Every structure is written in C-alpha cells, then in structure tokens.
Amino acid sequence: MDIKSDISKLVSVFLEKKFNIKTNEIEIQNTKKDFQGDLTIVLFPFYKELKKDQISSFGKNLGESLVSNSENINSFNMVGGFLNLTISDKYYLNFIESIKDDVDFGKSKKQNETFIVEFSSPNTNKPLHLGHIRNNLLGYSISKILEANGKNVKKVQIINDRGIHICKSMIAWKKYGEGKTPKSENIKGDKFVGDYYILFDKIHNEQKNELLKSGIEKDKADDSTQIMQDAKNELMNWENNDEETLKIWNMMNQWVYEGFESTYKLLGVSFDKNYYESQTYLLGKDIIKEGLKKNVFYTKEDSSIWINLDDEGLDEKLLLRSDGTSVYMTQDLGTAVQRISDNKNVKGMIYTVGNEQDYHFNVLFKILKRLGYDWASYLSHLSYGMVDLPSGKMKSREGTVVDADDLIFELIDNVKETTENLDKFKSKNEALDYDDYKSIALGALKYYILKVDPKKNILFNPEESIDLNGNTGPFIQYAYVRIQSIIKKYNNEISVDSGYSLNDKEKEVLKIIYDLPVVIKNSYKELSPALIANYLYDLVKSYNSLYQNFNILNSESKESTSVRLLISLKTRDVIKLCSELLGIDLPNKM
C-alpha cells in the first residue's frame, strides 16, 4: 500500500468511528509548493455530513488522529478547508532504498489484454509530412505507455493505397514521367511520387482555367478537365483489375513504401502489422451486405446503401455508392473486423487520427455497435490538433507541405551548428558524431510535439525546440548525460541511512520520483504523452536545483553523498524510462 492509500484508510476509520460517516471517496493531493507539507486532504466534502459546531475542530482532530496513528506522518497544518500533512523523511528514504535495483519501477505487471494502436496510416501518393510526424509520435508513444501499463500492444497502420488520389499520381507519371524512376532521378520514392501528385494539380488547374475562360460553369469545370477524366478512368480500370493499371499501381506503391520505411526508421517508429485499404474495403462490402440482411442498413432508389443515425444526432451516412463503389467508412468497417479477428483478447483499439475526423469515428463506432459487435465498446479515437510551422499552414496539392525527412535533416544541421558555436563545446573540443546530433535533434522534435496536450494545435518552432535551457528535449537529455557522468565517478556501494534528515531539495526530487507510477497510469487513462513529458520536465528541473545548490560527490558528509547519489541514480533511471515512453533516445555525450 502506498502512503496515500494508508492515509485514506486511516481517514475512513476516523470518519466512521467519530462521526459514523462511511466513505471511500477521500481526495488526497500533493501539497502546493507555496504551502508547508507534502500531502493535502480536501475536507470540504465532509462538511455537509457534520453538524455546524463540529466543523471548526474537525480538521485539527483529524490531523491529530493521523499523526498519532501513523509513524509516517510527522505533523499537520490547516489552511481553510485543506489539511496539509508532512510526511517523515524516513518514509521517503525507505522508499528510494526499496526501488534502488527495481528497473521496472513505475510499470504495471503484464496482463493478458491486447490493445491495438493505429497510427500513421498514410496515402501512397505523397511523402510523410509534419502532420504525419505528430501522428506517428503520438501513436508510438501511446503504444509504449500502454505496454508500461501491462498491456500487450499491437502497433498497426492502414495504408490508403487506392482511390482517386492515388490515380492522380499514376496518371501524371504516365503522361509526363517519360519512364523516369526514383533510382534514375536519385530521389526518394515517396518524394518522387508526391511530385507527380503536385504536377497533376498544376496541370488540372491550368486546364480548369481554360475551361472557365470558355464559359463552363465553375462547379462543372473541376470535374471536366481532361486530366481529371483520365484519373477517373484510371480508377475504373483499377477496380476492373486492368492488368496494365495494376502493374503501374504496384510499381509506384512500392516506390512509396520504400520511402515510408526510410522515414519510419529515421523517426524510430515501427509497426507489427500493415493493413491495406485495397484489401479491407472488400471485407467492408461483405459486412454491409450482412447489415442489410439485419435491417441495420437500407437501400435508396438509386441503389446506394445508407444508415440512419438521426436518433444519435448524426444524420444519414452513405456506406456504398449507387455504382457499388466504396467510401472510407466501407474500408474502416472491414479493417476493424479484420483486426479483431487477427488478435486475441482485444480490450482496446485506439485510432490515432486528427480531430477533423471526429465525426467519422463517432459514426464508425456507432455503426459497429448497431451491427452487434460486442467489442465496439472498446474502440476509442485519439483525436489530436493540427501542427504547423511559423511560416503558415501547409497544403499537399500546392507543394507547400514540409516533408518529414527535410524537417528532420534540417533540425540535425541546426543542432550541429548550434552545438559547435557553444563556448563550452569550443573549450572542451568534444567531438560529437552524427548519431549524437541526430539523437539530440530527434529528441528536440519529439519532446516539443509530445509535451503539448494532444487535443491542442501546435506551432512547431525548430529554434525553440533545441534550446538547452527551456522545457525542451535537449534540456532533458543534457541532465541525463550529466548524471551519467556523476555516477561513473563513484564506484562504491550506495546505501542510505533511514535516520538521515532530508533537505528541501532532496525531498522535492524524491516526491516527484515517488509519483511516477501514478503519472504512467494517468497518461494511459487520458491517452496523453504530455503528462509524461511535463512530469519529466518537473523532475529534471527539480534535480538541477538540487545539483546547483548542493554538492553531490563532495558533500558535507558520507550520508548526504549516499543519499544524493541514490537520488541521482534513480533520477537517471526515471529519465531513461520516461524517454523510452516518449520514443526519445538519450545521447552518450552533449
């Protein structure tokens, strides 16, 4: 039992014995920094159960009872309706000693529950961009957080490899590619194909403007250009399994897959299984047929298939077009069913997709429930905000999107330049290798993205992200490197005297380390890596304050050296664990 559970139990006993109040809902918080104490009991909820003449002395009586019945509580003080408790140094010292060799501190025991996490899910007509970076980092981090909470995790993506957008790149290449390949042009495959998607839009706009000049209505012009008609014909050829069309489709998709894999490796993310829209949409069509038989869906006069969700406040939703072709919902139904079939004991499936798809997933989950899938209640949408650069919003068709690779390589160059201009770097002349610069740059990128609540939009500022002194990845990494350097200088066994008197800085770090298991649990419950990132910042900031105010190795006594070294050791371990949960590598030197 932890200290909060112990206190909660003592409060329950006190309430029942003294006032005949039975409750397990006792709110215990960490005491705010401006007040004396370590833990705070919120008393207001109990006042309604008390008589007026009992309220004034209630907090004092409870505090005295807790001090007399717990060796871990030294003293108390009252501030309004809050009872602040001071926890004994001995308790925290015994705690840090007990986890000294526990490499899994903060993690939960392995459970027989599978969670599927979908992220990335790109289109095969363009390279990954800054928006994909946030998606990948969120999905990968949530996967690691779920694993830390004892879940068996399957990381998956659905690759959107079919549809009119894919055919646009294909047609542009067929018409203007002149047989060129990524290899012949020495261009990464996804970038190569993406350039033809941009070219398609350029040609389409030129042809559309000509049509508008000739007097065609604006609404009709968009669908009437020759290149758009060619793309639509290509889509029909694909759906009719035309051999030549499928050959080009497979070839261009393979170019893109090779490009994606390179970016994933650079980002440090991976997947256990890929699903493809070109396969799952067929299963989706079968599911819709079953839904028709069950009267969950209905057919309109033009043969299109729909579901009515008016009673859910979601209107009608198209599931199959009148010509029998599928929509996004078709393949998402098929993908969901296929994933559950592929895995055992699934207790959660998390879709990491931007908030512009909130409505889509609301509809998807409700359709699956109406179809009678009991696992539909396990589905959740990790909805996140957009990410932009200070230069403004990005658009794929116009070629203004910042490619993920370009952004990362530019960040690595910035880190190298910034580091080599530092005075301490010049004086020490410590050469960092490319892997060190890459580790720092990616740490900066990942931390900057993940420290923000997923629901909020982000303006990613590359210069801010690599600051060594702010709430940044390099700030965290530098603390780790510094602690590693301290620990390497000490070769003796580290043990602490439980009678040692902690100073405020030592106790503050210990209290933050103590909270790690709760933070990891809460980050899972809220699907928010930001809780881990900001906890990590608080820990490092607190440890740095200890380091700057007190000697670690050459301290005032053998006892204080041991305590501070053990605090340093576990701070390092927590930085390492939390960094792993965020997908951040830690460099050997900085």
In 3D space, the residue among 33, 29, 22, 53 whose CA is nearest the CA of residue 43 turns out to be 29
pLDDT of residue 218: 83
DSSP letters along 147-171, please?
HHTT-EEEEEEEEB--SHHHHHHHH
Report the top-level CATH class of 404-581.
mainly alpha
Q: What is the rounded CA–CA span in Å between residue 209 and residue 222? A: 9
pLDDT, position 395: 46
pLDDT at 432: 82
Question: What's the predicted TM-score (pTM) here?
Answer: 0.92
Q: H or E segment at 28?
A: strand 28-30
For residue 77, the cross-strand partners are 84
Give pLDDT, residue 429: 53
The CATH number of 3-87 is 3.30.1360.70
Cβ within 8 Å of residue 70, ≥6 positions away = 6, 7, 10
Q: Where are the domains positioned within the chain? A: 3-87, 119-388, 404-581
Task: Of 188, 197, 316, 201, give the one whose Cα is nearest residue 256.
Answer: 188
Half-sphere exposure of 332 (CA within 13 A, CB side): 23
> Which tokens hold the place of 454?
């997923």
Query: Up-side HSE of residue 15: CA atoms within 13 Å toward CB?
Result: 21
CA distance 164 to 287: 23
- Contact assessment for residue 572 and residue 483, using Cβ atoms and an 8 Å cutoff: yes
The CATH superfamily of 119-388 is: HUPs (3.40.50.620)
- Cα–Cα distance between 11 and 83 in angstroms, integer? 12
pLDDT confidence of residue 433:
87
pLDDT of residue 425: 54
- Give the burial class of 327: count Cβ atoms within 10 A of its Cβ; 0-12 exposed, 13-18 middle, 19 or more buried: middle
* In the block, residue with structure tokens 């403004």: 392
Segments of the chain with pLDDT less than 50: 393-399
Could you please report the per-residue DSSP string of 252-276?
A: HHHHHHHHHHHHHHHHT---SEEEE
